[in-house]
Amino acid sequence: MEEQREKKGFFSKLKAGLTKTRESFSQHVDNVFKAFVRVDEELFEELTDALVLADMGAETAMEITDALRDRVKEKRITDGQEVKRELAALLAETLGDTKASLDLSGSPAVIFVIGVNGVGKTTTIGKIAARLKKEGKEVLLAAADTFRAAAISQLEVWAERVGCSIIKGGEGADPASVVYDACNAAKKRNADVLIVDTAGRLHNKKNLMDELAKMYRVIDRELPGSSRESLLVLDATTGQNAVSQAELFDKAVPLTGLVLTKLDGTAKGGIVIAICTRLGVPVKFIGVGEEVEDLQPFSAPDFAAALFDFSEEE
């Protein structure tokens, strides 16, 4: 019963957090279904345009519409609302159709967190650390964003707030050396999880991308038995620009998951679908508010239901 109440609470937060996206999505997509009595080719053409306007991108929109057309034909669906529900199911499947959990199987597990300045990367790390501490994990933070003293200070605040240790260097220190020290500290302290913060660098600076790869190699060398999560934090408000960021970062470090922040402040939540389709990388967390509990594990079925204003039990 408690678990069911918690699930409903999470869904309510998700639904509220996606209000702007849902309103934008409804404006474009729902209007198509309201305008067409018959399920015909014209409906699908208009729906493609609506999905593009909902920030899914032209390529993704066409792929979704083509798949929906085939499914509707196969099932002989003639009712617009049934087509809409079929679209929701298709989007959930496109996003993975399951909850993509973190791989924490290693000893220790390593979570390598990257992203450009201003996306909420350090705050995301703090919230993930708080979640893991609540689960009884021994968490160690590595402040490898040495370009900004403020970034180190911010992570120190989160470490104190959450109740976990932090390894840091001075401003301007070699980030790879901080990662090296953190890896050795994780081994000595028998930490369950090591979370590495990295500089919020511009994604088009090759030398900085090379530095990311260097830190990743240090982890490979020092913690060869660790499980690895490489999470890219993206600001959902940037829309299609988030796709190009993800593609470039994926070339520097093999991404295992995405974190979409600030979904509560944007009408561009459809970008989640575009990114998953283009990269084939699962969304692990989404941020729908400022509180710690507002960083939620991503559930594709719940996201699709909230996007279409269905209840989680429908």
pLDDT in tens, 91-150: 888 887 556 689 998 889 999 999 888 888 999 999 999 999 999 999 999 999 888 888
SS3 243: helix
H/E segment holding residue 172: none
Nearest to 62 by CA among 41, 47, 74: 47
Distance separating alpha carbons of residues 36 and 274, to the nearest angstrom: 26
Distance separating alpha carbons of residues 113 and 91, to the nearest angstrom: 27
Angle of helix 58-75 relative to helix 271-279, nearest 10 degrees, comes to: 90
pLDDT of residue 192: 96
- pTM attached to this predicted model: 0.85
Q: Is residue 306's pLDDT more than 90?
A: no
Contact between 104 and 137 under an 8 Å Cβ cutoff? The reply is: yes
* CB-based contacts of 163-168 (< 8 A; 24+ apart in sequence): 163/133, 164/129, 164/133, 164/138, 164/139, 164/140, 165/139, 165/140, 165/141, 165/189, 165/191, 166/140, 166/141, 166/142, 167/140, 167/141, 167/142, 167/143, 168/142, 168/143
pLDDT in tens, 194-234: 999 998 765 556 777 788 889 989 999 999 989 999 999 98
Domains and CATH numbers, the chain: 2-94 (1.20.120.140), 109-298 (3.40.50.300)
